[in-house]
Amino acid sequence: MELRQLEYFLEIANTGSINEAARRLNMSQPPLSYQMRQLESELGVRLFERTSKGVVLTEAGKLLYNRADGLLDHARSTRLEVAKAGKKRVLRIGLTPTTVETMMPCLSAFARKNPDANFEVHDGITYTLYRYLIDGLIDLSVVRTPLRLDEVEYTVLRQEPMIAVSSIEMQAEKEGTLRLSDLLGRPLILYRRYEQLIMDAFRAGEMEPDVFCRCDDARDAMLWAKEGLATAIFPQSMASLCEGMQIQTIEEKSLWTKILLVWPKGKTLSPLVRAFIDITKNRFETE
């Protein structure tokens, strides 16, 4: 499987048309079709179904599509590292949207102490970054619990509670911190990443919340809350993104999450990666 074949495959998948993909790739259609037949032959599966309207991905094609971007990113990263060998070192790190602000002081301190280092940052949700780490696409990542940790080594950076976020117009029945019971009767927006954790906490107290909406992106949930439709529940580090909104801490310890710095278990770490781990540990230990 060649990298150019993956690039061709992604272009066809994104356009839904071999002809349109060929046009964008500045090549004719027959050689592009030939490359795809070669790729399918090598993998032993069909990647596309041809229809009157173009092409659609098979299940095997969808799997390759989900991996192809990461593989090409890894290839580009490798080219960058090789090209800069002896000049610049590259730290490949994963950051979730809710941990960027938390990590910026560490990234800044590391950059000042290592002026010969460049960064390659991958943004994504915890589960995506964990997969990138195990697949070797990044060197280390900042993630948040709950998460299985049997394949990684880690250090705990911070623990934090959940917060309830509402529009200013929604009249709070209680000032200050909240218990889960204070949220009963309120319509809630749950970020699906923490849905199970939150629902388990409610049910442990024999309570059934009013779930108005479930969504896959915490930023979407925040916009729904801003419109006054419901109260969203987030980790506390999302508070900086909730300007102009009513924010209340939820007391329940069962809802606390941990921010972790993780790296592959049993892998020999480069001096650059080890230096970043040490700087990060020292910074959070002195907080």
pLDDT higher than threshold 60 for residue 283: yes
| 256: Cβ contacts below 8 Å, ≥ 6 apart | 159, 160, 161, 162
Average pLDDT over residues 222-246: 87
**The one-letter amino acid at 62:** K
Q: What percent of the chain has pLDDT over 90?
A: 41
Q: Is 162 left (phi over 0), alpha (psi -120 to 50) or beta?
A: beta
Q: Which of 78, 244, 79 is closest to 165 using CA atoms?
A: 244
Q: What does the DSSP assignment read for 64-93?
A: HHHHHHHHHHHHHHHHHHHHTTTT-EEEEE
Report residue 274's pLDDT band, with 50, 70 and 90 as the boundaries: very high
pLDDT higher than threshold 90 for residue 279: yes
Sheet holding 231-235, edge to edge: 210-215, 187-191, 231-235, 162-167, 245-249
Structure tokens at 23: 């046009």
Is the full-model pTM beyond 0.85?
no
Q: Output 267 or 286, whichever has higher pLDDT.
A: 267
Q: What does the DSSP assignment read for 96-150?
A: -TTTHHHHHHHHHHHHHH-TTEEEEEEE--HHHHHHHHHTTS-SEEEEESS---T
Average pLDDT over residues 209-217: 91
pLDDT higher than threshold 60 for residue 115: yes
| 274: Cβ contacts below 8 Å, ≥ 6 apart | none
Whether a cis peptide bond, with omega within 30° of 0, leads into 264 is: no
Average pLDDT over residues 175-191: 90
pLDDT higher than threshold 80 for residue 224: yes
Distance of CA 239 to the CA centre of its chain: 18
- C-alpha span between 108 and 93 (Å, rounded): 14
Q: Output 20 or 240, whichever has higher pLDDT.
A: 20
> pLDDT digit string (tens) for 189-206?
998 889 999 999 999 999
Q: Sign of torsion, CA 211 214 220 222?
A: positive
Contact 172, 248 (CB under 8 A): yes
Structure tokens at 108: 């800044």
> pLDDT digit string (tens) for 30-49?
888 888 888 888 888 888 88
Q: Which pLDDT score is estimated for 203?
A: 94
Average pLDDT over residues 62-79: 77
Q: Which pLDDT score is estimated for 140?
A: 95
pLDDT higher than threshold 90 for residue 142: yes
- 3 state DSSP class of 12: helix
> pLDDT digit string (tens) for 78-101?
666 666 555 568 899 999 877 888
Average pLDDT over residues 141-155: 92
Q: Which pLDDT score is estimated for 169?
A: 81
Q: Output 27 or 204, whichever has higher pLDDT.
A: 204
The count of other CB atoms within 10 Å of the CB of residue 231 is 26
- C-alpha span between 89 and 82 (Å, rounded): 9
Report residue 230's pLDDT band, with 50, 70 and 90 as the boundaries: very high
Report residue 183's pLDDT band, with 50, 70 and 90 as the boundaries: very high
Q: Which pLDDT score is estimated for 119?
A: 92
Q: Output 57 or 173, whichever has higher pLDDT.
A: 57
pLDDT higher than threshold 90 for residue 232: yes
Q: Which pLDDT score is estimated for 171?
A: 65
